[in-house]
Structure 1
Amino acid sequence: MNTVHLSYPWPEDVVKHASKPQVLVIGQFDGLHLGHASVIDHGIRLARRLGVPASVMTFNPHPKEVMGKGDYEGYLTPLAMKEELLRAMGVDTLYIAEFNHAFSQVTPQQFYEQMLCPLQVHTVVVGFDFHFGYKGEGNPDLLRTLGENVLSVETVPAFLLEGNKVSSSAIRGALREGNVAHAYKLLGRPYQIRGKVVDGDKRGRTIGFPTANLELDGNYVVPSSGVYAVRVLAEGAWRAGVMNIGYKPTFQTGETRPSFEAHILDFQGDLYGQHLAVELIDYIRPEQKFSGIEELVTQIRKDADGARLLLSNLDYES
């Protein structure tokens, strides 16, 4: 997959290189959930039938982050992860358009004339609720009008799961409730966070449950505080584990930011400085304060047993 970074107005040299008949799927696609996948798959299949490249245009940073509006609270899929997923889907070219104040002022007509036309887009594929241009004034019908006789526009309907629309906001809501199993269903894969293992307080080692303390590598949507059954990609293999997300109330550390501590079951090794990927599979219990170390250790053993049972049927090679 070829990745092209664009900043408005598009640089002439970049446009000259990227300009070619192509199918372009446009959207924010934070999460790349089942609904997003249905739109992108539609674009890829159409491109293959037409014999032209399949391209995707996404925006970074998230418009809500730049404009300070809406319920923005972090990313479901930071940009690096989004690139990986799109590459795996078979996208030929990814356009990453920088969203800034200048971009936010672009009218729907300017979007068509100055952003799509220079790329020689043959067909645009979007979701049913797609809006573009200043204050979201543009929609698929307006884009058809603007591109009459030059640009085809195809709209993909909402993707329904159990009768409900799959959406990024629904996934965010599930994560806020700690319902990572439901987020898993909507995403079509487990919710994943990534980070570097950094020094922690090392209490886990003293009580027989060493943990990898993660410093996240992106501004992720943070699930509800609690204990989760997870699988961890460490030293080239997926491994069963348990993760605590929260503020360690038993030790009254006064933390103002949540910590992410993963204990990998049946693992011996030094992971300091390594980057890990953690998939949140299921919720075990809320974070709680214990009366002392003995009560905490007893509960951790129960958590580990619960995670082992929940994860026993997963294929860790995939």
Structure 2
Amino acid sequence: MKIIEQFSDEGFSPSNNPYPSGTKTFLSIGNFDGVHKGHQQLLRRLVSLAREHRALATVITFSPHPLEILFPEKPFLRIMDPSQKERILASTGVDILTIVPFTTQLAKMSPDAFTTSFLKKLFPLAGLIIEENFRFGHQRIGSVSDFQRILTPDGISVEVIPPLTENGSRVSSSRIRDLIRSGNVREAGDLLTRPFQIEGPIIDGERRGRRIGFPTINILPPAGRVLPPNGVYATITKIQEKQYPGVSYIGSRPTFGQGQIILETHLFDFEGDLYGLMAEVSFIDHLRGERSFSGPQELIQSIRQDSEQSRKLLHELSG
């Protein structure tokens, strides 16, 4: 997948234009935070149409997220980092990812201006594949009917994908964020088709875990990410392509009077030095909420119980 980030109102420069002369593209637009089941349904259709017509499959997404510009007073928290999103989009078969800077000027464009002066002008469109509830343009007044009105007279197809529902509710990024915030990481993972993950470098900690018999790897959760509530989770951690079952704590370690949110993971049946390596922690299920302990012995007993519960759950799920 080719990623285009150098982009202006005039479109692609000759050096980064991904569309050879005569090439057509089928295109989808969205933020694709999480690349969840609903997104995947749309992307499968996008790639299928592109392959059928010997065209390229293009995704347009925005940076920063439009909500960060439209509602700056409300902190916006992502399900995944941009690098994670790019990897997963590439795995779907998308050929080109165009990351368009989202500005107040872009937000103020009318539906007609966005479609004509942006999409039609800059992309060799053969067709648009779009979610049924997609809104765009100034004050979000544009809908799929505007795309159909403007594009179909020029022979550009507009295919509308109905929303995907599960358990009576639409699969959406906002629904998944709410599930993560509530600690329901298992259902969030079902809607994502993969576990919710936090990725980062392993940092040197205070090594309290090692002193009490439960060494941990420590990660500082990246800024701008939605996080599950403080507590303990069954997890699987990927380090250098190896998978390690374990148990993770996310929180501020009230027993030790700490304040910074940290992700601590005890890897089962592992000994070694992993400092500085990248770790990807997948949250499989919630085990318990955060608790304060009277002292190390009570903490050790709780970690032992948490580990046994996580081992049992992960074994059952793997079978």
Among 201, 204, 209, the alignment partner of 1:199 is 204
> Match of 1:149, SS?
helix
| TM-score, length-scaled by structure 1 | 0.93
Kindly indicate whether the alpha-carbon contact (under 8 Å) linking 1:15 and 1:119 is maintained by their aligned counterparts in 2: no
Does structure 1 residue 156 correspond to structure 2 residue 161?
yes
> Match of 2:152, SS?
coil
> Match of 1:175, SS?
helix
**Shift in CA distance, 246/23, structure 1 to aligned 2, threshold 3 Å:** same
1:280 Cα shift?
A: 0.2
What is the distance in 2 between the residues matched to 1:100 and 1:153? 26
Kindly indicate whether the alpha-carbon contact (under 8 Å) linking 1:6 and 1:98 is maintained by their aligned counterparts in 2: no
Does structure 1 residue 126 correspond to structure 2 residue 130?
yes
Residue in 2 that maps onto 1:85: 88
The Cα offsets for residues 163-184 of structure 1, whole Å up to 9 and x where unpaired, read as: 3211111111111111101101
Kindly indicate whether the alpha-carbon contact (under 8 Å) linking 2:185 and 2:284 is maintained by their aligned counterparts in 1: yes
> Match of 2:17, SS?
helix
Residue in 2 that maps onto 1:259: 262
After TM superposition, the structure 1 stretch with the greater mean CA deviation from structure 2, 218-227 or 90-99, is 218-227
Residue in 2 that maps onto 1:63: 66
Identity of aligned residues (%): 35
How many residues align structurally? 314
What is the distance in 2 between the residues matched to 1:300 and 1:314? 21
What is the distance in 1 between the residues matched to 2:171 and 2:310? 27
The Cα offsets for residues 240-297 of structure 1, whole Å up to 9 and x where unpaired, read as: 01110111111112x1x42111111111111111110010000000010011100000
1:114 Cα shift?
A: 2.3
One-letter amino acid matched to 1:83: E
Kindly indicate whether the alpha-carbon contact (under 8 Å) linking 1:128 and 1:158 is maintained by their aligned counterparts in 2: yes
Among 226, 237, 256, the alignment partner of 1:232 is 237
The Cα offsets for residues 85-128 of structure 1, whole Å up to 9 and x where unpaired, read as: 01111111111111122322222222112221121111111111
One-letter amino acid matched to 1:165: R
Kindly indicate whether the alpha-carbon contact (under 8 Å) linking 2:6 and 2:12 is maintained by their aligned counterparts in 1: no
Structure 1 gap ranges (5+): none
After TM superposition, the structure 1 stretch with the greater mean CA deviation from structure 2, 63-72 or 178-187, is 63-72
Residue in 1 that maps onto 2:104: 101
| TM-score, length-scaled by structure 2 | 0.93
1:213 Cα shift?
A: 1.0
Among 24, 34, 37, the alignment partner of 1:34 is 37
Structure 2 gap ranges (5+): none
CA RMSD across the alignment: 1.9
The Cα offsets for residues 52-92 of structure 1, whole Å up to 9 and x where unpaired, read as: 11111111111112233586531112211111001111111
The Cα offsets for residues 25-65 of structure 1, whole Å up to 9 and x where unpaired, read as: 11111111101111111111111222211111111111112
What is the distance in 1 between the residues matched to 2:192 and 2:163? 14
After TM superposition, the structure 1 stretch with the greater mean CA deviation from structure 2, 179-188 or 208-217, is 208-217
